[in-house]
Structure 1
Amino acid sequence: MEIDATIIVLLLSFSAALIMGFAANKTNFCTMGAVSDWINMGDTGRIGAWMLAISVAIAGVVLMQYFYGISFDSTLPPYKTANFAWLRYVLGGLLFGVGMTLASGCGNKTMVNIGGGNLKSLMVLLITGATAYLLTKTELYEIIFHSWINSTAIDLSLYQIKNQSLDSIILSFFNFNDVDIIRLITGLSVAFIFLFIALKSKDLLNTKHNILGGIIIGLMVVAGWFISGGSLGQQAIEAAEWMDVVPVGVGVQSYTFINPMGEMLNYAASPFDFSLITFGVVAIFGVISGSFIASIFSKQFRFIWFYNIEDAIKHISGAVLMGTGGVLGMGCTIGQGITGVSTLSLGSLLVLGSIITGSALTIKVTSYRIMYEDSTLIDALLCSLVDMNLLTDNFRKYDKV
């Protein structure tokens, strides 16, 4: 029974991820593309789909918490920790946003592209995974980041705040008798805010595939939480404690893809050590498989390689930044931007905003460098910051693009 529960959790994780990959391929759900559409064309259809997915995920989590008693206080990764590492979230999100733009897609889109035959994305996955592996399985993170990142973190427990979730912050200021009701109201209110943002987009409402993509992606994140945190998941967690070889990464979790890319390489180095097969590892293969099936059915599967050395350098640089940013920010556009936000984590919201900012800034800078061939990186960056209302117009050197 112990083995069965663990295996079933992995199989269900693969199945839900397969649906996610299939849906993302068929509906063209892409968070980097969402930011690009918004910045370059003013089209908010895909960013509306992203916001819709977040709304669905939040609503699903708070309803599971209220009606099924599933706890999200201790998760993988620890979204609701009391250690509010704000600089880590901001820097990680910015780096990831820049990286996913250079690499032509976030972690999820990278796997969707692989399923469609994109060999550039396969290279991105391998390099992102290698970067994540080095930062999580060696002392590299400790050497480069730990001391100065850790020194800026805020211990919320010193202020009698249980953790960084919005409901815990609210409960720390008010003495409510029914904690569960406050959590439910808070969660549904935040879900409604994201739904309102999504539905403000006429581009979303005019395209059924964006609506469908957002709903399905959000539901699969909810499914991941239910698989790992429900009764079956709890059986797997309890069973793991009694195993001679404890499986890696057993716990309450849902879909995130950067650290699992590192775990995938870790498993590839020891393919007969089945304890290294994690929820995230099977999810990666699930998304790729779902996208592959969609590509075959739509007859859009084709092999793609780098156009030239500049294209290769851009994607490789983006992969390194995605791996670094994903580890620092403890997630990607799915892992933090939907899964993490669904727990109402303040850090996840910070990562989400930073990813969007980093990606938008990279898109703007690239546009200025293309439009004004003699422009320097600094000039393009300053103009981009002015466009985003982060600097005054005094810093502008070129006309707005």
Structure 2
Amino acid sequence: MEILTVVLLWAFGLAVVLGFFATKTNFCTMGAVSDVVNIGDTGRMRSWVFAIGLAILGVMGLSLLGLTNTSLIANNDTANPPYLTANFAWPRHILGGLIFGIGMTLGSGCGNKTLVRLGGGNIKSIFVFLAMGVTTYLMIFTNFSYTAFLSWMEPAFIDLSLNDIENQGLGTVIAHFIGTEIESTTTIVAALLGGLLILWAFLSNDFRGSLDNILGGFIVALVVVTAWWVTTGELGQTLLEEAEMMDEQPFALGAQSFTFSQPSGHFLRWVETGFSSSLYTFALMAAFGVVVGSFLYSILARKFRFEWFANWKDFVVHIIGGLLMGIGGVLAMGCTIGQGVTGASTLAMGSFLTVFAIVLGSALTMKIQFYKMVYEEEASFGKALVAGLADMKLLPNSFRKLDKV
């Protein structure tokens, strides 16, 4: 069996596990933000943070045992995407994260949740996936990304290598400023940060009182870390070496783990090329796996249900959400899983910045929707936006035109 096939089968198999348990435990980052904003429940948010903490410790452990080569993640030629590159592209992380956060709220879930819902019979998710695919395709396979965003963003990017900083990993940056050795500093930072995130998760009964929250976070971290082992370990390194000898390298090859900002665009490209085998990417196989895993659980638990749009407005809102997720996900180089867990597990500064922007964009969108629902015609977009920002302590209360509800 060809080594590429083995890697793709790993992607599919791990994603089946992810889809199965994400459906069972209702692991959902948009739902996590909604729980906090609307009812004050932090259980699913802590499940996400628990997954991040575990993934950080898992990647650290693999590196200490010599089972992976994490330097591959910092190289544009060997990673997809290169989370740890020395080029700190902070504007794309902020704007991309905000756009993605808005989109996932309008689309009723992030890229992973869209696939999970699709596997459970939600027909709406097919349209969200395809809408997301259109803009993802444009961002990846055309000049749209550069023309619309990168052309004016790039001058603000910070090249850390000009200051003799090898990459944007928190451990590397801290080691540079305090004058310590990079590897040991990275290990200490990973152990402290991962441990603190896990501790924070368990401090609330919202999290520890729910087996599903614990299981969901554990499974997400497990599959992300295992995927890193596959693509940056012996198997992945051998594949990269073999690829250098190929006349035509497979598309989107490299050190990577789970991200769901790419699959929809890869899917449309795959269809466009007549289902070319060169488009069997890690991300595409992961998407197929999540749908299969979700479908299996939904059938076994007898929860498979067809769901359609409530009305035309519902349809339009979901399509807009999908379009925005495609733009934001590629611009930010990842989604709630791709940056929120996979990227964060590498300690990349851009990943944490993206997570913050996604949560902010999602929470603010929910606030605006809430005020427009409560105040109806009185609540213009501007008034709802200011009220939402005031609720989130980002503007003084004196600025608001709508009373807090």
Partners of 2:371 and 2:59 in 1: how far apart?
41
- The equivalent of 2:66 in structure 1 is 68
Partners of 2:265 and 2:196 in 1: how far apart?
34
Calculate the aligned-residue CA RMSD, in Å: 1.2
> 1:175 is matched with which residue: 148, 161, 179?
179
- What letter is aligned with 2:364? L
CA contact (8 A) 2:67 2:234 kept: no
Are 1:150 and 2:160 an aligned pair? no
CA deviation string 1:161-219 (max 9, x = no partner): 11111011012123335x43222111111101211221222211111111100001111
- The equivalent of 2:225 in structure 1 is 222
CA contact (8 A) 1:162 1:172 kept: no
- Name the count of aligned residue pairs: 398
Query: Where in structure 2 are the equivalents of 1:208-247 lying within 5 Å?
Result: 208-247=211-250
Choose 115-124 or 239-248, whichever is displaced more: 239-248
Shift of 1:272: 4.4
- The equivalent of 1:322 in structure 2 is 325
Aligned to 1:302, the other structure's residue is in SS state coil
CA contact (8 A) 1:62 1:187 kept: yes
Are 1:77 and 2:77 an aligned pair? no
Shift of 1:396: 1.3
Aligned to 1:262, the other structure's residue is in SS state helix
- The equivalent of 2:303 in structure 1 is 300
- The equivalent of 1:50 in structure 2 is 48
Choose 284-293 or 299-308, whichever is displaced more: 299-308
Choose 215-224 or 267-276, whichever is displaced more: 267-276
CA contact (8 A) 2:81 2:333 kept: yes
Shift of 1:305: 1.3
> 1:256 is matched with which residue: 255, 259, 262?
259
Partners of 1:143 and 1:249 in 2: how far apart?
22
Q: Give the gaps of 5 or more residues in structure 1.
A: none
Shift of 1:69: 5.0
Partners of 1:36 and 1:174 in 2: how far apart?
39
Partners of 1:175 and 1:222 in 2: how far apart?
29
Query: Where in structure 2 are the equivalents of 1:174-193 lying within 5 Å?
Result: 174-177=178-181, 179-193=182-196
CA contact (8 A) 2:107 2:320 kept: yes
Query: Where in structure 2 are the equivalents of 1:338-349 lying within 5 Å?
Result: 338-349=341-352
Partners of 1:80 and 1:264 in 2: how far apart?
26
CA contact (8 A) 2:172 2:185 kept: no
Query: Where in structure 2 are the equivalents of 1:189-204 lying within 5 Å?
Result: 189-204=192-207
CA deviation string 1:14-50 (max 9, x = no partner): 0001100000000000000000011100011100100
Are 1:10 and 2:8 an aligned pair? yes
CA contact (8 A) 1:66 1:180 kept: no
Partners of 1:197 and 1:119 in 2: how far apart?
37
- What letter is aligned with 2:7? V
What stretches of structure 1 move > 3 A for 4+ residues in a row? none
- The equivalent of 1:113 in structure 2 is 117
- The equivalent of 1:59 in structure 2 is 57
Are 1:369 and 2:385 an aligned pair? no
CA contact (8 A) 2:97 2:329 kept: yes
- The equivalent of 1:101 in structure 2 is 105
CA contact (8 A) 1:34 1:44 kept: yes
CA contact (8 A) 1:97 1:355 kept: yes
CA contact (8 A) 1:33 1:105 kept: yes
Shift of 1:232: 1.2
Q: Give the gaps of 5 or more residues in structure 2.
A: 74-78
Partners of 1:109 and 1:69 in 2: how far apart?
31
Shift of 1:260: 2.3
- The equivalent of 2:76 in structure 1 is none
Choose 124-133 or 266-275, whichever is displaced more: 266-275
Q: TM-score, normalised to structure 1's length?
A: 0.97
Q: Rate the CA distance shift 1:272–1:106 in 2: closer, same or farther, 3 A.
A: closer
Partners of 2:356 and 2:275 in 1: how far apart?
40
In percent, how many aligned pairs have the same letter? 48
> 2:401 is matched with which residue: 392, 397, 401?
397
CA deviation string 1:67-93 (max 9, x = no partner): 125222333101111111111100000
CA contact (8 A) 1:258 1:332 kept: yes
CA deviation string 1:319-347 (max 9, x = no partner): 11111110110000000000000000000
CA deviation string 1:78-113 (max 9, x = no partner): 111111111110000011001000000000000000
Q: TM-score, normalised to structure 2's length?
A: 0.96
